[in-house]
Structure 1
Amino acid sequence: MYSLGKKVTAEMIGTFVLVLFGCGSAATAGGELGYTGIALAFGLSIVALAYVIGPISGCHVNPAVSLAMLIGGKLSGRDFIAYLVAQAAGAVAGSALLYAIFHSAGKTAANLGQNGYGDGYGIGISALMAVIVEIVLTFVFVYAIMGVTSEPANGKVAGLVIGLTLTLVHLLGIGLTGTSVNPARSFGPAILLGGEALSELWVFVTAPFVGAALAAIAFRTLNVRKAG
């Protein structure tokens, strides 16, 4: 059993890595990588992290995942709050390093892989549709996590399944909202950039939490066997 201090440190490092490599790939090489490349950057980050910090903290690196684990009884209220703080700190640190990289090259950091919607972002969906999209994508992602981590026998492949599922939801979501499914991943870039990214942040905090809660409820209702 690891201490809470080690768990939150792992969550902070993990979220830092996810934001730096995922959002960084979108911001610095999105045109060359395309949607598939960006999706893989996020997915492969999770695959790597799952096997490194998974045994320590569970490798949530996502407040929505932590909420689902809280609802599922796998995380205490105290640990939930500590995880959220660590994840937010890691996301801001990852975005800050990305911002500094742009600044060191004498460039304006107008793109840090932030999420968005409306005219000029992706195909230009509305705020309401962005909420719906993020709820659905988060539901799929979190439901897969809860399913693959519910059986100890899946331990060796869980990280791969979770990473590939994150890649899957990104393939659809990048052209719509940039794909959040993770309030911390959205929080970091928005805090650094401010403006429109910050004003639209409410969608990418609220919708993933709703999607995660629905996934946790669905899993408990459909997948958990009851004695007798």
Structure 2
Amino acid sequence: MRKYVAEFIGTMVLVIFGCGSAVAANTLVGKLGVEVPLGFTTLLIAFAFGLVIVAMAYSIGNISGCHINPAVSLGVFISGKMNGKDFVGYLVAQFIGGIAGAAILVALFGSNESLGTNGYGDASALGISMGIAFLAEVILTFVFVIAVLGVTSKVENGSVAGLVIGLTLTLVHILGIPFTGTSVNPARSFGPALLAGGQPLSQVWVFILAPLVGAAIAALVYKFLSAEEEKQA
């Protein structure tokens, strides 16, 4: 039970600080009435998501592995490093944590109009189509999950794993934010979309399905690559 509670807390904190930083940055820019380069806010938000992963990895990593992302849990499950019971338990805890985090953001900002939701079309900075949004999320999640599987595959990487994973999440956000706002995490997307309603909720299926597809591909590719490596050893 403790690992499920840890996943709930970790996902909640990710939404509060990651999505909350996006809301705060965009709100502040709007109130100041000044033009801020898109690259500046992109980096700010990207590092917020990356740093919260680093913080949680070294806080709850020894308890649950700090997945705090259904896509990561799926990758670990397909890799054979997680049983079905824990997989379901992690998913439930993560989605509830995402909803709780979004609810706290509503309380903090006093509105559900902007919760760091993901989107395509006019909800995307680049105005991309649904198909491009799906493809982008598959690619971004593939990179993130294969990095997680790789760095956590060796015990000697334990001291740096959190940092590597956090920086990889920062990396995928830098590219992905102008496209979709960057999900790579179904629970992070579902919580804010559920409380925001409207367009974010109608589009959220893309940000649930695409990361799971990307994670599954990453797990299968990593299994193939690691199997080849074991044969050569």
* TM-score in terms of structure 2 length: 0.92
Question: In structure 2, what is the Cα distance between the partners aligned to 1:120 and 1:134?
Answer: 15
Question: In structure 2, what is the Cα distance between the partners aligned to 1:127 and 1:98?
Answer: 27
Question: In structure 2, what is the Cα distance between the partners aligned to 1:227 and 1:119?
Answer: 49
Q: Quick one: which of 133, 138, 145 aligns to 1:142?
A: 145
Question: In structure 2, what is the Cα distance between the partners aligned to 1:147 and 1:93?
Answer: 30
Question: In structure 2, what is the Cα distance between the partners aligned to 1:226 and 1:155?
Answer: 20
Question: In structure 2, what is the Cα distance between the partners aligned to 1:226 and 1:47?
Answer: 30
Q: Quick one: which of 9, 20, 25 aligns to 2:5?
A: 9
Q: Quick one: which of 197, 210, 214 aligns to 1:211?
A: 214
Q: What is the aligned residue count?
A: 220
Q: Quick one: which of 69, 74, 80 aligns to 2:81?
A: 74
- AA aligned to 1:39 is A
* Identity rate, percent: 60
Q: Quick one: which of 41, 59, 65 aligns to 1:34?
A: 41
Displacement of 1:101: 1.3
SS of 1:174's equivalent in the other structure is: helix
Q: Could you say which residue in structure 1 is the equivalent of 2:96?
A: 89
Unmatched runs of 5 consecutive residues or more in structure 1: none
Unmatched runs of 5 consecutive residues or more in structure 2: 30-35
Per-residue CA distance 1:169-220 (angstroms, 9 max, x = gap): 0000000000000000000101101110010011000000000000000000
Q: Quick one: which of 17, 22, 25 aligns to 1:21?
A: 17
- AA aligned to 2:3 is K
- AA aligned to 1:138 is T
- AA aligned to 1:133 is A
Question: In structure 1, what is the Cα distance between the partners aligned to 2:17 and 2:42?
Answer: 14
Which has the larger displacement, 114-123 or 194-203? 114-123
Q: Could you say which residue in structure 1 is the equivalent of 2:53?
A: 46
Match status 1:161 vs 2:164: yes
Q: Quick one: which of 203, 210, 213 aligns to 1:200?
A: 203
Match status 1:117 vs 2:117: no
Q: Could you say which structure has the higher helix fraction?
A: 2
